Amino acid sequence: MGIAWIAPIEKTLGLIISNEGYDKYRADVDGDRGVILLAPHLSNWEVFGFFASEGVAANFMYQPPRSHGLDRLLRQARSRNGVKMAPTNKRGVAQLLAALKNGEMVGILPDQVPADESGVFANFFEEPALTMTLVSKLVQRTGAKVYCGYARRLRRGEGFCAVFREADPAIYSSNLEESVQGLNNSVENAVLEAVSQYQWEYKRFRRRPDNSEFYS
């Protein structure tokens, strides 16, 4: 991840040696309709983000770190190819909404644990997980097309394959709970393609419906 931040952008892009579903994704991105790209904590999402946004009017939502220096480094690194960074606050959400209405691409890490008021519980691998409602609300307000993708690490350090899949159709439901479940289904489907490359140590289930402790 650190190398992806500081190495020349051409070197980072060169790590992607193959792709799946990119042509369809790019055709939608180049159209008039806004596109939401879900990039879960699967393999190297930094490398994937650079590839997915190359030559694209793109906006990525991110959680600003507490360290001002790290925040500055992160924003400078991720915006090297023209990506606009949107913080996880009202101003950032407004930026994403405007971008989608303008036909741009919006990148979101969909398996972040949201604040209580910004999520509902939906199953993720048969366990209830507090899941963001932001994506569903953006879809309902803009009619954006949704993809889920990741950079699958190849064997023997050969590089990565950039994978783009259309999101689960349920994500387009006008019912919020059904749409949020569609988001989790989309992430599950991606994880099942590269189970060992998911960031399982991330505390995806740390919030429980009854406020009990899932982790000791």
Distances (CA, A) of 67 to 5, 42, 113, 179: 16, 24, 20, 34
Per DSSP, the three-state class of 161 is strand
Beta bridge partners of 192: none
What values do phi and psi take at 33, rounded to 5?
-90, 135
Rounded Cα–Cα distance for residues 191 and 159 (Å)? 18
How is residue 109 annotated by DSSP?
A: -
Per-residue pLDDT tens digits for 148-161 = 999 999 998 899 99
Confidence (pTM): 0.92
How is residue 66 annotated by DSSP?
A: S
Per DSSP, the three-state class of 5 is helix
Q: Residue 216: pLDDT band by 50, 70, 90 thresholds? A: very low
Rounded Cα–Cα distance for residues 103 and 166 (Å)? 17
Per-residue pLDDT tens digits for 144-199 = 999 999 999 999 889 999 999 999 999 999 999 999 999 999 999 999 999 999 99
